[in-house]
């Protein structure tokens, strides 16, 4: 029994690692859905892939211009109005405006909210005005399916169309360069302060960070009629599962499960060796 236990744990570890890989994989199509005020009833839905989006909807970006977000600023003014540090290069991306995707299912009215959801359940929500009438310093909110050039520094994105663009499909704000002294297209932390309602702003602990808005591996866009009333910190369950609710409580993170199983495997192996 002692010698068999490590093998059982090893098998569980392998299964867990496969689950992590499945949740952290490039996406190539989007489920777009409009949901009634009850938060459950589907009013209209469609599924489109990146090829269809490029061929049938306006394209954001040119595959040459780089777009940036900003990470937390730990020294000085945490909002960094001058945009001086910790830029997150998201690549020379092209994508589709969330507004155009919402129009596929009947559009959005003031008071509605749009959820952009990743395959692992992580999600962000945006108000009507930020999607339909964005301030130029924010720019259109795009779901990107192509990257024409690798980032200069930081996280690698992959080049070409998804899945070669392996952090795609990814949310990127196509901000103008009006607030950056170097002419870079950066959606900075102060831009977020000035353009997004507080409920939509992202913080790393107590530090603002627009980098946290750039959701990757997106597989769903939801239009919530009358606004999203679920728990914003919870993971959003799949609408493809009829037994799943619109939102679920946060599940144990897959990476945490892998770490737990790895520790258990190590302990069991050590005990087996000592008992040999």
Between CA 233 and CA 251 the distance in angstroms is 11
Neighbouring CB atoms inside 10 A of 37's CB total 14
CB neighbourhood size of 150 (10 A):
13
d(CA 100, CA 62): 18
pLDDT per residue as tens digits for the range 101-133: 999 999 999 999 999 999 999 999 999 999 999
For residue 93, CA distances in Å to 169, 190, 202 come to 10, 23, 22
Q: Using the Cα atoms of residue 78, residue 133, residue 146 and residue 119 in order, give the sign of their dihedral.
A: positive
The pTM for the full model equals 0.80
Question: pLDDT by residue (tens digit) across 206-247?
Answer: 999 999 999 999 999 999 999 999 887 667 676 665 434 433
**Percent of the chain beyond pLDDT 70?**
76
pLDDT score, position 233: 67
Nearest C-alpha neighbor of 66 from the set 135, 153, 124: 153
Domains of the chain: 25-251 (3.90.420)
Mean pLDDT of 1-21: 45
Residues in the chain: 276
Q: How far is CA 131 from CA 35, 158, 195, 213, in A?
A: 17, 27, 11, 14
Are 49 and 28 in contact by the 8 Å Cβ rule? The answer is yes
Long-range pairs of 241-246 with CB within 8 A, sequence gap ≥ 24: 245/40, 246/35, 246/39, 246/40
Q: Which of 189, 252, 227 is CA-nearest to residue 112?
A: 227
Q: Give backbone dihedrals phi and psi of 214, rounded to 5 degrees, phi first.
A: -85, 70
Query: DSSP 3-state assignment of 71?
Result: coil
| CA 201 – CA 25 distance, rounded (Å) | 26
Distances (CA, A) of 219 to 32, 83, 134, 152: 9, 31, 23, 27
Per-residue confidence (pLDDT) for residue 252, from 0 to 100: 39
Confidence band (pLDDT; 50, 70, 90) for 23?
Answer: low
């Amino acid at each position: 029994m002692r010698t068999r236990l490590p093998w059982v744990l090893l098998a569980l570890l392998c299964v867990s690692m496969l689950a992590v890989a499945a949740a952290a994989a490039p996406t190539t199509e989007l489920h777009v859905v409009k949901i009634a005020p009850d938060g459950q009833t589907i009013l209209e839905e469609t599924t489109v892939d990146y090829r269809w989006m490029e061929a049938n909807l306006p394209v954001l970006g040119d595959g040459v211009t780089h777009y940036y977000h900003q990470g937390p600023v730990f020294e000085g003014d945490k909002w960094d109005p001058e945009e001086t540090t910790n830029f997150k290069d998201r690549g020379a991306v092209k994508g589709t405006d969330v507004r155009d995707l919402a129009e596929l299912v009947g559009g959005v009215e003031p008071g509605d909210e749009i959820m952009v959801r990743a395959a692992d359940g992580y999600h962000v929500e945006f108000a009507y005005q930020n999607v339909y009438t964005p301030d130029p310093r924010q720019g259109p909110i795009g779901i990107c399916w192509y990257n024409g050039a690798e980032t200069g520094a930081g996280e690698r994105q992959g080049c070409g169309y998804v899945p070669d663009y392996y952090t795609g499909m990814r949310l990127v704000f196509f901000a103008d360069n009006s607030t950056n002294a170097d002419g870079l297209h950066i959606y900075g932390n102060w831009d977020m302060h000035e353009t997004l309602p507080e409920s939509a702003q992202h913080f790393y602990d107590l530090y603002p960070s627009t980098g946290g808005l750039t959701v990757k591996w997106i597989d769903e866009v939801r239009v919530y009629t009358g606004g999203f009333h679920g728990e914003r910190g919870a993971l959003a369950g799949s609408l493809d599962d009829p037994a799943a609710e619109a939102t679920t409580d946060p599940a144990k993170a897959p990476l945490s499960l892998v770490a737990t199983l790895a520790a258990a495997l190590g302990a069991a192996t050590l005990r087996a060796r000592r008992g040999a």
